[in-house]
Chain A
Amino acid sequence: MHKITSVNDFVIRFANVNGSGSASANNLFAKSVFRLGIPVSPKNIFPSNIQGLPTWYEVRVNEHGYLGRRGGVDFMVATNGQTLKQDYDEVLPGGYFFYDSTKNLPHGFERKDITEIGLPLTAITNTEYSDPRQRQLFKNIIYVGALAYLFSMDFSVFTDSIKQQFSKKPKLIEPNIHALELGYNYAKEHHTDACAISIERRNNVGDSILMDGNSAVALGAVYSGATVVGWYPITPSTSVVEAFEKYATKFRMDKETGKKNFAIMQAEDELAAIGMVAGATWNGARAFTATSGPGLSLMNEFIGLAYFSELPIVLVDIQRSGPSTGMPTRTQQSDLILAAYASHGDTKHVLLFPCDPRECFEMGADAFDLADRLQTPVMVMSDLDLGMNDNMSPPLKWDDERRYDRGKVLTAEDLDNAKQAWGRYLDVDGDGIPYRTYPGTHPTKGSYFTRGSSHDEYARYTEDGDTYAKGMQRLLVKWETAKTLVPTPHTRLRSEKSRWGAIFFGTSTHASYEAISSLNKQGVAIDSMRIRAFPFQKEVKSFIDNYEMVFVIEQNRDGQMRTLLINECGIVPQKLVSVLNIDGMPITARFIAKRISQVLSNENVVSLQTAETEE
């Protein structure tokens, strides 16, 4: 048998039972790899359940820095009886199956093409510990210790991590290290040369951080001065608000009074959550909500109100698999069309697409400037994969000279000095953005009635068709202005004569780049554009115009980004070829490369021996 042999390049998957405390042990493993200077990409694959159902944790270790999912499992840590067979079958030929050998593997586990590594986890913990909870928790730490031996990892990185993790509970340090050693020593004794995968210290992570996107976007909101949060709990967005509260509690308590310089209100539903945001932004505070697909559906009416009455609301959408309740704990990029055109009537909204935690932080902050400047809803379109997993990312930074752009807001002095009559919806500058006033600004000037019913330039109710149409046309002028303000796409050219292009965004980014690189090595040059915002700038259309065919890579069934491109840029549909992943798991590089090669082979444009043979 040919064992999978590699240094710093493999995929390991942990199969656990939800609620058994495996998360922190698995995290300890991933963090230790990262601290050895090797890029790492952990993905939590968890059920919509609190305790008892299967959960997996997949870690891609890759010293070249490919951070998307690769596809396939080289090393399986199987601790869950419910999924033992499935996990066994999933190991790639030549791979490794690590299991609790207290009991023998049942009948039917007879693969000859993988290496089985047994470690009697239950027997060891039963001998070592009397408390059932301890048995469970330390079982997880013991297998991490065994992995340290099997992958020849520097053991001190684990002990250092444990010391850091429990710096405030030093009593727990010694027992955890002991558990690590139990696993390490057993493996050393019984599986000396079992594993041909190893992890060697490198210096390939630079100053990167390992952070979840939800914390990053929340921190962006703290830095950008958000003070009011209206929200309703929904997976996978809940941790955005939890992180906001954590950071705000740390940085926003008034030192003299002990009072909060922020307000978080858990609403009765998503309608109320976004309603609170609308009211707060109307009143001059920066405010946001975080939600996921079902919540976004409920918020539609208010998004239309905010669009038409021109309120700078910010919404963070952590997308999950739809439709309806769908797969609440699986990822997807399937809210695009709903978000882009949310609410009845003619509406279009600004969307931002972050691809890593640093961009979550930046866009989480920029969203407020954009919303204030444009006086319109802005949505940050993250997803479960980016939001809830630790992602390797460049460090966060903030320019201390930066001042919040509160947009066109008139003060009492402005109103006193105004030479012409002020109209809330009057386009004075020709950019489609009118001037607004906050309630309470001036005793006699600047008041108006905000409404979702049709209004004239002076915010007066009107049913005059021409006046209404003029207002709607002005909102399109504003839309054009938005194109000059939103983040521009990132383009990568692979060859001067590329015939094909690829477009992707958000969490499809890393796997796409990897797939394109692997195709490039085989002589297939594909230029790429990573879209970072909606509306699309002119260069998006010019990019597409440059190629015979453009692949649009995304994680939904219907090619929603492709639809937006066709609709907004006037592209001939045949030119855009979808590469779609909809299984709720993060898209893999191998899948993308395979699909692109298939299309190109069918087109008879190229004969490829691509990544598909690897799978």
Chain B
Amino acid sequence: MTYIRPNFRHPDLPTNSLGLTRKDYEGGLSTLCAGCGHDSISNAIIQACFELAIEPHKVAKMSGIGCSSKTPAYYLGKSHGFNSVHGRMPSVATGANLANRDLIYLGVSGDGDTASIGMGQFTHVARRNLNMVYIVMNNGCYGLTKGQDSATTDKGSASKKGHPNTFESIDLCSLALQLGAGYVARSFSGDKHQLVPLIKAALSHEGFAFIDVISPCVTFNNVPTSTKGYEYVRDHLSATGTFDFVPMRQEITTSYPEGTTKSISMHDGSVVELHKADSSLDVSSRREALSALENARHDGKILTGLMYLNPESTDSHNMLNTTDIPLCQLKEDKLCPGNAQLAFINEALR
């Protein structure tokens, strides 16, 4: 069964600097459950790409397997997408990125896809600092196989099945920080005012940008006993601070009183403006970020917002010293040494 959106469009829909409307960034109709947090994240991705005026065909949508990994079909319909195998999106994204450094790599994954079967690949793509955005749609359960606990299910949390989880949960933000990710954030699918700028800043970051988005599973894990239901998350949110994302070329017109903001310039010329009054977290300190996460955990809070940003981080290509031209565009003249060189090789082997 295929879902195709109707092609109607209001003539007065706002356009971005490319002359595209928000509709140009949409995909097929979602087949997820009504009210699924993942659909809100898809919408935030659409909004972020629209507002940044990204050319849709310059985005490569990567995913693994699971409810979350189905979502690339629901946004950016003019982008190529790759729904790979369970837990292996990072390696596919790595190969794709090595082949063509000019595209934007937007990977989405779930808590099962990342924290269990894909844990190995997640950790290694982070430590290689691959230039990509990695969003985990974290609902603390396996939705597509009907609600089993995942590795991010909090200890003591009980899903619709009613059995409290007895195992420790994995905090993906702490892990990403330890692994050297240059951009680490957490958000909530129900807070698009926070999520959209976080995605925009992540897209502008050069290197590995990780966003863990708590995204309630309305069908299996949205009960009062769960720590990943809408109600619980709303009641326990604690933000690191509000911030604006100012894309490159746009005049900075801060809405905060002078002296209360801190600006961080991104690699592409964009600026992240942090509103200092909201929080004392210094996002340039990995150590502070780790301790803020630990403190929130201790207090039973869900810390959201930007945790850490290192605008100086360098990506895999720079570490490997690969050429600026995408490798997939090189032709015989750059790649093939020719028969004359073989004559030398043969001679050395005699």
Contacts and interface: CB of A to CB of B under 8 A. Distances in A.
B99 A228 contact: yes
B84 A452 contact: yes
Contacts of A275: 84-85, 88, 90-92, 94-95, 121
A371 interface: no
A283 interface: yes
A358 to B, nearest CB: 10
Given A268-B124, A396-B342, A463-B1, A228 B85 contact: no
Interface in A390-423: 395-400, 403-404
Interface stretch (B34-42, B246-254, B325-333): B325-333
Given A283-B328, A452-B83, A443 B95 contact: no
B9 to A, nearest CB: 15
Given A210-B350, A279-B91, A285 B322 contact: no
Most A CB within 10 A of own CB, among B72, B97, B98, B323: B98
Contacts of B338: 398, 400
B82 interface: yes
Nearest to B96: A279
Given A35-B350, A440-B103, A276 B98 contact: yes
Given A263-B327, A284-B99, A439-B103, A272 B339 contact: no
A230 B91 contact: yes
B322 A279 contact: no
B73 interface: yes
Nearest to B31: A461
A282 B81 contact: no
A189 B101 CA distance: 68
Contacts of A219: 345
A209 B80 contact: no
Contacts of A302: 85, 88
Interface stretch (A52-60, A171-179, A249-257, A538-546): A249-257
A268 B55 contact: no
A24 B60 CA distance: 49
Given A223-B337, A440-B80, A285 B57 contact: no
A279 B82 contact: yes
Contact of A285 (B72, B320, B321, B327): B327
Contacts of B79: 439, 447
Contacts of B324: 257, 259
A273 B88 CA distance: 10
Nearest to A264: B320
A305 interface: yes
B156 interface: no
Contacts of B323: 254, 257, 259-261
A273 to B, nearest CB: 8
Contacts of B82: 279, 282, 449-451
A280 interface: yes
A243 to B, nearest CB: 11
Given A443-B56, A447-B79, A283 B99 contact: yes
Given A35-B350, A210-B350, A285-B98, A449 B92 contact: no
A283 B72 CA distance: 17
Contacts of A447: 56-57, 77-81
B120 A283 contact: no
B83 A282 contact: no
A460 interface: yes
B349 A443 contact: no
B118 to A, nearest CB: 10
Contact of B342 (A283, A398, A437): A398
Contacts of A34: 350
Given A268-B124, A283-B96, A447-B78, A452 B337 contact: no
A449 B85 contact: no
Contacts, number: 236
B337 A222 contact: yes
A397 B342 contact: yes
A257 B102 CA distance: 18
B335 interface: yes
Contacts of A438: 80, 100, 328
A201 to B, nearest CB: 15
B255 interface: no
Given A275-B88, A399-B339, A227 B330 contact: yes
Nearest to B18: A443
A228 B98 contact: yes
Contacts of A272: 88, 90-91, 94, 120-121, 124
A228 B327 contact: yes
Contacts of B91: 230, 267, 271-276, 278-279
Contacts of B341: 251
B84 A225 contact: no
Contacts of A264: 320
A444 interface: yes
A168 to B, nearest CB: 13
B84 A276 contact: no
A243 B97 CA distance: 23
B346 A395 contact: yes
A179 B176 CA distance: 58
A240 interface: no
A239 B338 CA distance: 23
B327 A262 contact: yes
A121 to B, nearest CB: 30
B98 A211 contact: no
Contacts of A228: 95, 98-99, 327
Interface string B182-224: 0000000000000000000000000000000000000000000
Nearest to A463: B1
B293 interface: no
Contacts of B317: 263
Nearest to A448: B80
A404 B100 contact: no
A437 B328 CA distance: 13
Given A227-B99, A268-B124, A287-B95, A251 B80 contact: no
B13 interface: no
B95 A278 contact: yes
Nearest to B4: A460
B95 A279 contact: yes
A453 interface: yes
B234 to A, nearest CB: 34
A228 to B, nearest CB: 5
Given A276-B98, A282-B82, A398-B338, A227 B92 contact: no
A259 B80 CA distance: 28
Contact of A440 (B58, B83, B92, B331): B58
Contacts of B329: 284
A287 B58 CA distance: 21
A396 B346 contact: yes
B99 A400 contact: no
A269 interface: yes
B2 interface: yes
A279 B94 contact: yes
Given A275-B95, A447-B77, A252 B345 contact: no
B10 interface: no
B57 A441 contact: yes
Given A440-B80, A441-B57, A452-B83, A261 B327 contact: yes
A433 interface: no
A225 B321 CA distance: 18
B92 A278 contact: yes
Contact of A262 (B96, B124, B322): B322
Nearest to B327: A227
A27 to B, nearest CB: 12
Contact of A230 (B78, B95, B103, B120): B95
B86 to A, nearest CB: 8
Given A207-B346, A252-B335, A265-B316, 4 more contacts: A254-B334, A272-B94, A279-B91, A302-B88
10 contacts: A223-B337, A228-B95, A263-B98, A269-B120, A272-B90, A283-B100, A284-B99, A396-B342, A404-B332, A439-B100
Q: Which 4 A-B pairs have the closest CB atoms?
A: A275-B91, A279-B95, A285-B99, A276-B95
